[in-house]
Chain A
Amino acid sequence: MTVQKADVVIVGGGIMGSAAAFFLRQRGQSVILLERDQIGQYASGVNFGNVRRQGRYLGQLELADRSYGLWKRLPELIDDDLEFIASGHLRVCYREDEIVELQAYADAPEAVQLDLKIFRGDELHKRFPFLGPDVKGGSYAPHDGHANPRLAAPAFARAARRLGAQIEERTEVAEVQKVGGEFSISTTDGRQFSAAQLLITAGAWGQKLSAQFGEPVPLETKGPQMAVTEPVPYALPTVIGVYTKIEEEMIYFRQIPRGNIVIGGGYRSKPDMLTRRALVEPRSILNQFEQMRRLLPGVGNLNIIRVWSGIEGYLPDSLPVMGPSGTVDGLYYAFGFSGHGFQLGPGVGDVMAELISTGSTSTSILPFSINRFASSVEQRSKVS
């Protein structure tokens, strides 16, 4: 049997894997990307499309900034338009004490380049007159924005392919082993691949592979809940999301220039991992209606025309697993982005390509190391 070889094999063709393939090719590495279904089919293609930095874990802003720099180089970078618009992002809240927290975030030295401005009371409602009276304050990020998630991962994969990457869709990994200095990957259709370096970007399925290398992580799968309205005249360029600790209040929306308003958030569903299908729960949609009427009272007369979900991987601390394996040389991870990976996508691809090519990164990714789960999982397996 012929074994197909490359410098790097990537497992998982979401935005992380596709972007990594692209940047690895830019660095001259040969790449084979294996995707079980279609590029960008699960989390990457169905998410809200936020290109948002504000509100992220402060230790992640360096990575988000790097990614933002790449978003700004679109469409030239990959010769494809992902409909990215830096139209501003507003995080609003319903309570005074939450404004204090928004202010603290804005004042953090890590967030200085976001140019955040805090609005309260009348000033907020003068600037954003369409917001409902319950909204007490907001943090405005003028440079953040949004893009079209349906286009992103496939566009990066096409760009990678143009640079010579081998992209294999409908190719499911059956077994991965490290024999000698090489990873040997067999697929369910009986093909063999091999590479000295292996990158796992398998999203909600990432921990199945990391567990094979003795590094299980407590990853949980969830289905985001999205809806879109019929088109109306473009009047709301700012992406708006609610900052709150109450799950049902946690919704967000963006209007695209062609007029539709995309809405997400609130409850999440539990995907069926056997059929690989995640449903939209009717209660999620009704909750979004209620919350949207509170946030944007004028929205009431609109109809939603479609709802959708996907499959995302969440880790307990809402941070991804990203970086080298703690146990196996040549093995790398970038998965479990916990519902906020879209903005990071290009940056993650770039950083992983740098790490795999040079052995180190110029951007800190230490907080996302898989080693942070090493002890807790060990302890848990001892208990059970």
Chain B
Amino acid sequence: MATARLSTRVVIVGAGPAGTRCAETLVAAGFKPVLIDENRRDGGQIYRRQPECFTRDYATLYGTEADKAGDLHQSFDRLRGQIDYRPDTLVWNLTPGQLCSVKQGMHTTVDYDALILCTGATDRLMPIEGWQLAGTYSLGGAQIALKSQAVSIGHRVVFMGSGPLLYLVASQYVKAGAVVAAVLDTSPLSKRILALPKLLARPGLLFAGMKLLAQLYRAKIPVYLGIKPLQVLGDAAHGVSGVRLRTASGKTLAVKCDAVALGYHLRPETQLADLAGCLMRFDEASSQWVLATDEDGRTSINGIYAAGDGSRIRGADAAECAGRLAALALLRDLRHPVDVRQVEEQRHALKVMDEFRIGLAQAFPWPSAQAKALPDQAIVCRCEMITAGELRKAVSEKGACEVNRAKAFSRVGMGRCQGRYCSQAGAEVIAAAAGVSVQQVGRQRGQAPVKPLSMLTEEVSP
């Protein structure tokens, strides 16, 4: 068999569900891919493995997903030795055919012929007045604190936002013994009922979601639907002291807490694909820019593939399928024999999950109207501490009706996070101020480094 093809240098970025299944499929075909992961351990975010010295069991850590987590971890452990695994390593930039990676200050370039990006997702955030106060976390951040370090973000925690993660993290906190002051969902019940037909594409998952809600009610956690977040209360010296909101019936309510977790579902991490020049497209269902790929994960650039939430937010089960499928797509492109039935199976599974994804987006919509309603004094960009008013001025006084221009004039998206946490909300503010659709104001272009890079970084010969 063609050893030339087997010598194709394949690099996978990300060792979550997509990256693991992708590596597994390639190893089964006789390849030895390089697998680079930013985390210390495999599993990604959802199946994040706790530090070696921690002893919580799978049921405690992963709840209903314990079996899947166990299966993925075991699969990964079997791959060790058959892949070139590089944990704790950040790919901070790339050029055609070469990745720039850094591990503990040591810089190494990694050549590739084929690249599969399984870079996952982060929280999708909508600003609220006061969200710069210490004690404000993203939902994902709150979950990682618990999952990785068995730490709660506060003594008395409010969960506010929308999406499945809101209920999942709140119930994980309840289960861990934390005081959950309230769960505040911006989505009204009516949206969920409308989305039911699509959500029924995965009845098991829908049932699991309802069970989470039931657990919260049983624990007597106040759950409000259809709320409007108004403010995170507190001051710079003492941090968060509560949240203020308007209930669905129009009453203003304050809930005391010392920490708040915010989030509206997820956004894909597309910086590497963006730096590679891969095309993006606007996804109407979730109202955000995502990577343009074909059904199997091929991007617009030859030899670059994408899978998992970094490509399209469909969750962990879909990420496993997409990881396999991207590997199979690469194998087919290399004219390597592939079991066509397996391809069809994965495609079919993904179709069902895509239906569910659209249902979720309907049930827990991105609250774009909140951006328009943000008071001028609310901070949009927390890294640079730029207010909604300043951003609006870039539009109204300086004519910046495009995201990158508004960034140049206002600094929104210029800080440490490089727009990962503020640029989507910023785009909504710009669109509302300019009176155009959010799609029309474009998206923030990616710039290296993917994450902050230490100036102590030194080159080592590969």
B-binding segment of A54-62, A195-203, A285-293, A320-328? A285-293
Q: Does any Cβ of A come within 8 Å of B408's Cβ?
A: yes
Q: Does B41 contact A (CB under 8 A)?
A: no
B452 x A305 contact (CB < 8 A): yes
How many whole Å from A159's CB to the nearest CB in chain B?
Answer: 12
Q: How far is the CA of A272 from the CA of B402 in the complex (A)?
A: 23
For the complex, is A374 an interface residue (Cβ under 8 Å from B)? no
**CB–CB A306/B414 < 8 A:** yes
- Per the bound structure, the CA–CA distance linking A289 and B452 in Å amounts to 13
Chain A residues with CB below 8 A from B418, complex form: 305-306
**Contact A305-B416, Cβ < 8 Å, known A150-B408, A154-B398:** yes
The answer to the question of A302 belonging to the interface, with a C-beta cut-off of 8 Å to chain B, is yes
Give the docked Cα–Cα distance between A300 and B455 (Å).
5
User: Which residues of chain B are near A193, meaning CB under 8 Å?
Assistant: none
Which of the listed residues A279, A285, A307 has the most CB atoms from chain B within 10 Å of its own CB? A285
A299, A302, A304: most-surrounded residue (chain B CB, <10 A): A304
A266 CB–B CB distance under 8 Å = no
Known: A154-B398, A158-B398. A304 touches B447 (CB 8 A): no
Within the complex, what minimum Cβ distance (angstroms) separates B448 from chain A? 5
Q: Which of A279-319 contact B (CB under 8 A)?
A: 279-282, 285-286, 289-290, 292-293, 299-308
Interface assignment of B415: CB less than 8 Å from any CB of chain A: yes
Asked if A230 lies at the interface with its beta carbon under 8 angstroms from chain B, I say yes
Q: 8 Å CB contacts to A: which residues of B401-454?
A: 402, 405, 408-409, 414-416, 418, 447-449, 452-454
Residues of B within 8 A of A306 (CB): 414, 418, 447-449
Contact among A154, A290, A304 with B453 in the assembled complex (CB-CB below 8 Å): A304
B65 within 8 A of A: no
Check A303–B455 contact: CB distance below 8 A: yes
Among A231, A280, A282, the most chain B Cβ lie within 10 Å of the Cβ of A282
Inter-subunit contact A302/B455 (CB<8 Å): yes
Taking the closest CB of chain B, its distance from the CB of A376, in whole angstroms, is 35
Which one of B109, B405, B452 lies within 8 Å of A303 (CB-CB)?
Answer: B452
A151: interface (CB < 8 Å):
yes
- Are A154 and B409 in contact (CB-based, < 8 A)? yes
Hey, which chain B residues are within 8 Å of A307, CB to CB? 447-449
Q: B83-114 toward A: CB 8 Å interface, digit per residue (1/0)? A: 00000000001010000100000010100000
Interface residues of B in 11-30 (CB under 8 A from A): none
A150–B415 CA distance with the chains assembled, in angstroms: 15
- With a CB–CB cut-off of 8 A, which chain A residues contact B408? 45, 150-151
Which residues of chain B (256-301) have a CB below 8 Å from chain A?
none
CB A46 to nearest CB in B, in angstroms, measures 9
Q: By the criterion CB–CB under 8 Å, are B452 and A299 in contact?
A: no
Q: Is the CB of A286 within 8 A of B457?
A: yes
Q: Measured between C-beta atoms, what is the minimum distance from A19 to chain B in Å?
A: 17
Q: Evaluate contact between A304 and B455: CB separation under 8 angstroms.
A: yes
Q: How far is the CA of A332 from the CA of B405 in the complex (A)?
A: 30
User: Does A186 reach chain B (CB closer than 8 Å)?
Assistant: no
State the CA gap A203–B415 with chains docked (Å): 29
Residues of chain A within 8 A (CB-CB) of B453 are: 285, 303-304
Give the complex CA separation of A150 and B408 in angstroms: 6
Residue with the highest number of chain A CB atoms closer than 10 Å, among B107, B415, B449, B458: B449
Beta-carbon contact of B416 and A230 below 8 Å? yes
Which residues of chain B are near A293, meaning CB under 8 Å?
Answer: 455-456
Q: Does B415 contact A279, Cβ atoms closer than 8 Å?
A: no
Residues 341-377 of B, flagged 1 when their CB comes within 8 A of A and 0 if not, give 0000000000000000000000000000000000000
CB of B217, distance to nearest CB on chain A (Å): 44
B93 to chain A: which residues have CB within 8 Å? Answer: 280, 282, 285
User: Which residues of the other chain, B, contact A289 by a CB distance below 8 angstroms?
Assistant: 455-458
B197 located at the interface, meaning its Cβ lies under 8 Å from any Cβ of chain A in the complex = no
Complex interface: chain A residues within 8 A of B409 (CB): 150-151, 154
CB distance from B96 to the nearest CB of A (A): 10
Could you tell me the distance in whole angstroms from the C-beta of A171 to the nearest C-beta in chain B? 15
User: What's the Cα separation between A310 and B133 when bound, in Å?
Assistant: 37
CA distance A231 to B416 in the complex (A): 9
Contacts of B67 in A (CB 8 A): none
Does B222 reach chain A (CB closer than 8 Å)? no
Let me know if B455 and A299 touch, CB within 8 A: yes
CA gap between A150 and B459 in the complex, in Å: 32
Residue B51 at the A interface, CB < 8 A? no
Nearest CB to that of A296 among chain B residues? B455
- Contact indicator A230/B405 (Cβ below 8 Å): no
Say yes or no for A166: interface residue by CB 8 A criterion.
no
Q: How far is the CA of A235 from the CA of B301 in the complex (A)?
A: 45
Give A154 Cβ to nearest chain B Cβ, in Å: 7
Residue A229 interfacial (CB < 8 Å)? yes
Contact residues of B with A, CB < 8 Å? 93, 95, 100, 107, 109, 384, 398-399, 402, 405, 408-409, 414-416, 418, 447-449, 452-459
- Chain A residues at the B interface, C-beta cutoff of 8 Å: 38, 45, 150-151, 154, 158, 229-231, 258, 279-282, 285-286, 289-290, 292-293, 299-308
| Given A230-B416, A301-B455, A303-B452, 15 new contacts (CB under 8 A) | A150-B408, A151-B409, A158-B398, A282-B93, A282-B95, A282-B109, A285-B93, A289-B455, A292-B455, A293-B456, A300-B454, A300-B456, A303-B454, A306-B447, A307-B447
User: What are 6 pairs between A and B in contact, CB < 8 Å?
Assistant: A286-B457, A286-B458, A286-B459, A290-B458, A305-B418, A307-B448
